[in-house]
Amino acid sequence: MGEVRKSDVLIIGSGVAGMTCAIKIAEARPDIKVTVISKTNKEESNTFYAQGGVAAVWNEETDTQEKHIADTLDAGDGLCDEAIVRMVVQEGPERVKELISWGARFDKERDGDYNLGKEGGHSENRILHYKDITGREIQRTLIEKAASLPNIKVLENLFAIDLLTQHHLGYNITRLTPGIACYGVYALDKNNLDVEKHLARVTVLATGGAGQIYRATTNPTVATGDGIAMMYRAKGRLNNMEFVQFHPTSLYNPAVEKQAFLVSEAVRGFGAVLRAKNGEAFMDKYDSRKSLAPRDIVARAIDNEMKIRGDEFVYLDCRHLDMTEFKKHFPNIYEKCLEEGYDAAKDMIPVVPACHFFCGGILVDKNGKTSVSQLYAAGECTASGLHGANRLASNSLLEGLVFGHNIAEDIASSIDSLTFRIEIPDWDARGTTNPKEMVLITQSWKELKDIMSSYVGIVRSNVRIRRALDRLRLLYQETEVLYNTTALSPQLCELRNLITIAYLVTRSASMRHESRGLHYTTDFPDLLDHLEETYL
């Protein structure tokens, strides 16, 4: 049996949202013990791979917060919560300044002003970036800052399995039960496969997205939607799960199984143009903003062109750009393309859309409070109202910074009245045996990716969604049998979570009888004139 651990605040996830929250609580309340857990190493996260940067109004001579708000609302296609959008845009620059004060570097012009990039859907240049590896720089900064605070402990290779609630004290909990509360998590120690009980006065989910439900994704393998799935099992509220963002331009390489390489939208912001295989620039058929239209429009346009032409990719043409500047701005992308045999100065780069970001997730308020008491959530695992039906590029790192901060303020002022629930029982592993064939898990994961990619991708329909639901049901039943009879492994827990996420995306898609933002279905191609939200 694993250890029993206690922390005042337990944060699950070491990306931008979790780390910011940990730092801000630790600074505000040096008397409070904060633990951050990460299921692999503390660097590995969607945050680490962020390229384009952080959107924030920086140059007030050319840009205004109203413009950033309008662009965010426009991308969100009617489903953003305007009050939340305003809050994030207004607080954003302050949070970015804080990050800079902790040591984050962003590229500057010769005159010392920040070099501001542009991405799809932005009416102005407002994206602060560090070359094309902004996420790596932010992650480094946050890890170093956290290490300087003695009341933060970061535990790696610890996999949160389930939230502890009254269910674990023997009560029957349903989605209608009032007053559900969270007392910490059960977590699997990946070093010895023991399950430990981790008690907390307050728990924060910052577990990121779930791109791994699709065959092609820009997300690393840790993005398996664990926090959202845990919340669903704990009977908490989720929202807008059908809105899955596909990034228009990941580097085409059918041999890559786990994580597609992103070619940042900032490359199009720098002037690169999308072309069909025959060289035709096709985006003007779809939107006056051409290659820099919001992502949902560009990804659907590429999907359509590939289908009409029978091509397996389109090209991104950078050949006309100033290559000295290009290499300065995008050294990582330039090198990666070169490794794959494409010199951006001479060759067009083959690209395809890939699953990139989850706009829906755990429903939270402006302070990151969820429907479960003593439980907060921040970052990509949430539906905060910022992104609505489609996220504006580079608003996600900003969301993590702002909500991490707000949650910390709320916890710092409310935690004193909260206690531990020490009567939660230890994990019970009786009746399980070691798995005989781990390959069954890998096969089911592949099947799941095929189902979601074939039936619940960029363009959906009733028939496709029904097919997906039928097939997911079978996968779910098989996986539950495995889960109830075999000893836990991280792979099995992830598969179970991925199936839950796939079900939630598909079920929410089946409930939305219109096309809005990232959800496009051929059976209901128009927008409804009244708004619907799909709570689960």
Give the range of 39-47, 264-272, 330-338, 440-448 binding ligand SIN by CB under 6 A.
264-272
Quick one: what does residue 294 bind among ligand SIN, ligand FAD, none, with the CB cut-off 5 to 8 Å set by partner type?
A: none
Under the binding rule (CB under 6 A), the answer on residue 22 touching ligand FAD is no
72 contributes a contact to ligand FAD by CB under 6 A: no
Question: Is 184 strand, coil or helix?
Answer: strand
DSSP 8-class letter at 519? B
- Cβ neighbours of residue 530 closer than 8 Å, sequence gap 6 or more: none
Q: Which of 21, 26, 37, 251 binds ligand FAD (CB under 6 A)?
A: 37
Q: Does 265 bind ligand SIN (CB under 6 A)?
A: yes
Nearest to 465, CA basis, from 454, 474, 475:
454
What is the DSSP code (8-state) at residue 381? Answer: G
User: Which residue of this chain has its Cβ atom nearest to ligand SIN in the complex?
Assistant: 52
Instruction: Give Cα 35 to chain centroid, integer Å.
Output: 21
Query: CA 77, CA 67: separation in Å to the nearest integer?
Result: 16
| Distance of closest approach, residue 380 Cβ to ligand FAD, in angstroms | 4
Phi, psi of 426 (to 5 degrees): -70, 160
259 scored as a contact of ligand SIN (CB under 6 A): no
The site partner of 265 among ligand SIN, ligand FAD, none (C-beta below 5 to 8 Å per kind) is: ligand SIN
206 interacts with, out of ligand FAD, ligand SIN, none, CB within 5 to 8 A per kind: ligand FAD
Instruction: CB nearer to ligand FAD: give 264 or 515.
Output: 264
Out of 53, 76, 236, 353, the residue judged to bind ligand FAD by CB under 6 A: 53
Q: What are phi and psi of 201, to 5 degrees?
A: -80, -35
Q: Which is nearer to ligand FAD, 52 or 350 (CB)?
A: 52
Work out what residue 12 binds among ligand SIN, ligand FAD, none; the CB cut-off runs from 5 to 8 Å by kind.
Answer: ligand FAD
Regarding 521 and contact with ligand FAD (CB under 6 A), the answer is: no
Q: How far is the CB of 394 from ligand SIN (least distance, A)?
A: 4
Of the residues 219, 291, 394, 510, which one makes contact with ligand SIN according to CB under 6 A:
394
Residue 218 near ligand FAD by CB under 6 A: yes
Which residue number, 54 or 441, has a Cβ lying nearer to ligand SIN?
54
User: 248 is in the binding site of which of ligand FAD, ligand SIN, none (Cβ under 5 to 8 A by kind)?
Assistant: none
- Determine, following the binding rule CB under 6 A, whether residue 15 of this chain makes contact with ligand FAD: yes
With CB under 6 A as the contact rule, the residue among 52, 93, 388, 517 that binds ligand SIN is 52
Residue ranges of the alpha helices (H) in 310-376? Answer: 323-329, 331-339
Q: Is 394 in the site for ligand FAD (CB under 6 A)?
A: yes
Burial status of residue 30 (CB atoms within 10 A of its CB: 0-12, 13-18, 19 or more): exposed
Q: How far is the CB of 389 from ligand FAD (least distance, A)?
A: 16
Considering beta carbons, is residue 131 or 198 the nearer one to ligand SIN?
131
- Residue 239 binds ligand FAD, judged by CB under 6 A: no
**Length of the chain (residues):** 536
Structure-token pair, residue 525: 């191609």
Looking at the DSSP assignment, which residues form a beta bridge with residue 115? Answer: none
* CB burial readout 52-67, b (16+ within 10 A) else e: bbbbbbbeeeebbeeb
Question: Using CB under 6 A, which of 2, 52, 120, 236 touches ligand FAD?
Answer: 52
- Alpha-carbon distance values, 60 to 239, 374, 394, 465, 523 (Å): 34, 39, 19, 46, 44
Query: Is there binding between residue 134 and ligand FAD (CB under 6 A)?
Result: yes
Q: Judged by CB under 6 A, does residue 219 bind ligand FAD?
A: yes
Contacts of 173 (CB under 8 A, 6+ apart): 165, 166, 167, 180, 234, 235
Of the listed pieces 166-174, 326-334, 390-398, 464-472, which binds ligand FAD according to CB under 6 A? Answer: 390-398
Catalytic residues: 295
Give the interface segment with ligand FAD, choosing from 41-49, 236-244, 280-288, 367-375 (CB under 6 A): 41-49
Least CB distance to ligand FAD at residue 12 (A): 5
Helices 490-511 and 226-233, axial angle in degrees (round to 10)? 70
Helix segments in 203-343, DSSP class H: 226-233, 265-269, 295-309, 323-329, 331-339
Note whether 368 binds ligand FAD by CB under 6 A: no
Q: In this chain, which of 79, 231, 393, 482 binds ligand SIN, going by CB under 6 A?
A: 393
CA nearest to 529, candidates 78, 72, 71, 76: 78
Query: What is the nearest approach in angstroms of ligand FAD to the Cβ of residue 133?
Result: 10
264 binds ligand SIN (CB under 6 A): yes
Which one among 11, 23, 49, 241 touches ligand FAD, defined by CB under 6 A?
A: 49
Cα 440 to Cα 493: distance, rounded to the nearest angstrom: 13
Backbone angles phi and psi of 221, in degrees to 5:
-70, -15
Single residue of 69, 163, 206, 458 touching ligand FAD by CB under 6 A = 206
Phi-psi map region of 279: left, alpha, beta (phi>0 left; psi -120 to 50 alpha): left
Sheet holding 127-128, edge to edge: 54-55, 127-128, 116-117
Q: Is 489 in the site for ligand FAD (CB under 6 A)?
A: no
Task: Mark the segment that binds ligand FAD (CB under 6 A) among 44-52, 70-78, 103-111, 142-150.
Answer: 44-52
204 phi-psi bin (left φ>0, alpha ψ -120 to 50, beta other)? beta
Q: Which long-range contacts (CB under 8 A, 24 or more apart) does 85-91 make?
A: 85/385, 85/386, 87/366, 87/402, 88/386, 88/395, 88/398, 88/399, 88/402, 89/56, 89/57, 89/65, 90/65, 91/402, 91/405, 91/406
Contacting residues toward ligand SIN, per CB under 6 A? 51-52, 119, 264-266, 393-394, 396
Contacting residues toward ligand FAD, per CB under 6 A? 12-18, 37-40, 44-47, 49-53, 134-135, 159-160, 206-209, 218-219, 222, 226, 262, 357, 379-380, 394-397, 400
